[in-house]
Amino acid sequence: MPLMKNALALAACVLMPMATTAQTLSKEALLDFVNTRYQAYFHYNLCTFKNVNEEKHSGRSRGTEPVEWWNPTGLDCEQWAQVCIDSRMAGGWLTAKHHGGFCLWDSAHTDYDVASSPVKTDVVGEFVKTFRERGLKVGIYYSILDYHHGIDNGTVTQEKIEFLKAQITELLTNYGPIDYMNFDGWNTWPTLPDYDDCPYDELFRLVKRLQPECLIVSHTYESNLAHTEIPFADAAGRAYPYHPDYMRPTAASDCSQRDWWWDDIPEYRKPKSKAYLLKQLDSYNSHNSVYVLNISPGPNGRLDDSVCKRLTEVAEAWDRPADLTEAGDNWGYQYDVSTNLAFHKPATQSTTDGPILDMRARPRAEIAVDGVIEGSGAMEQCSLTTEEMSPWWQVDLRCECHLDEVQIYFQTDAPDRKRSDIALIVYDAAGQAVWTERLKPSSPAYTEPDRLVVKLGSDKVVGRVIRIKAISKQTVLGIAEVLVHGEPN
């Protein structure tokens, strides 16, 4: 299967320098997002035609469906936009590329796209243009998992990462401002590419270089900022999916019909009840969470009349919350992340504990470099090891740096856990330990009960990897955030 339509185009993208990006997450942007309250998801791709062309109906394309199946008899983005307006939705998100890998735009990097199909209309272009003209927010959904191009767990090469970057670059440079980049198919199941295969930081920096104001809304099921700027979950059929006391900006999706994709079986297209949709809206909005409701266009490029009618009924009955006038004090990054050499850098730990709220979200090491110093493990704000002998956590700064200070914020909601001695170790690029210190629970370096501040001495230490180890026969290492101060060598 061809990975590239234009090898020179991919090469140009690969050779493009990665400029320094602004590492900010403004409270104003988060407040604007929360105040949208209600947006639309448009699952429209080859699966729309898979259910028509195959006897066995399926909610997922496997990347083997022929491009000739993409043969819509129309495309009415004007209707989509009007339905959003009539439904009191603030915007819409389009599945530009779902798990099957088929692209709804003419991509220079593959033949598996609309340009190679019988109907060559640039769906992304028409969607963005129409929604912008109607004053609606615009979101682009892009799946990291890609069956057609062989991007799944254990198969990701640097070439495939550059392919992903090249396509994201097309989407963020050819269509003007995009409000939200919605990533999916990434780490939540064992078969998906994980963050070790395709590091979040690489795509984060790319998006922020191309469109600094574009919010990243990753489908991670995590309620932290380790792999997203807005936590997002597929909560179809469930109430608010995060901790009941978690009030920072989030979003979650749901289906207005039985499944994500249009289906030619009438029973599958029956809209959910007004009462159900109103209950979901209220559940999400009361927690500062945006309800993203899927409404699937059919092969004619239009939304079903029955769904449009139901959404109008919901809009007429919906008691929309008043706009918030101020963002929460703890929204966004909680310190100047540009001063932290460890922010979003590759982090690992000796073991990783099991899920806390959702089986697809585990307390990974990256949570400790996500820009948030809150220490609640129950709210998924900490990296957590299993209970073991001398657990450790470490971060790779990606280059040797002159190091001044390391700050460690520990988990705050484990009062019964006995404090262990902590060993702080600095390794150089060759893996040799160049500095180490063991700190007892009584050490004056604890400036607060759960905060350790370690000065590395008057002579700057040069190192690349920082390791934190709890010296104990049996304990859990829970870390909320690690700040490394200094400068690149």
Tens-place pLDDT, residues 329-351: 999 999 999 999 999 999 999 99
What's the pTM?
Answer: 0.93
User: Rounded to an integer, what distance in angstroms lies between the CA atom of residue 123 and that of residue 126?
Assistant: 5
Whole-Å CA distances, 372 to 115, 250, 344, 403: 43, 15, 11, 21
Q: Longest Cα pair distance anywhere in the chain, in angstroms?
A: 73
Contact residues for 237 (Cβ-Cβ < 8 A; gap 6+): 254, 255
Phi/psi-derived region of residue 144, left when phi > 0, alpha when psi is between -120 and 50, beta in every other case: alpha
pLDDT of residue 23: 65
> Which two tokens mark 117?
């199909």
Helices (H), 35-192: 46-53, 77-86, 123-133, 158-173
Give the three-state DSSP class for 245. Answer: coil
Opening angle at CA 15, ends 9 and 19, nearest 5: 120
Q: Which phi and psi (to 5°) does residue 288 adopt?
A: 60, 35
pLDDT of residue 10: 47
State which H helix or E strand residue 278 sits in: helix 274-285
pLDDT of residue 14: 41
pLDDT of residue 459: 77
Place of tokens 């109008």: 312
Q: State the helix-helix crossing angle for 305-317 and 274-285, rounded to 10 degrees.
A: 50
Q: Which domains does the chain have, with CATH numbers?
A: 7-317 (3.20.20.80), 337-488 (2.60.120.260)
pLDDT of residue 473: 92
pLDDT of residue 13: 43
Q: Extract the residue ranges of the chain whose pLDDT is less than 50.
A: 1, 7-20
pLDDT of residue 434: 97
Q: Residue 395's beta-bridge partner residues?
A: 347, 466
Give tens-digit pLDDT for 132-164.
999 999 999 999 999 999 999 999 999 999 999
pLDDT of residue 379: 96
Strand order in the sheet with 250-255: 215-218, 180-184, 137-143, 91-97, 38-42, 289-294, 250-255, 232-234
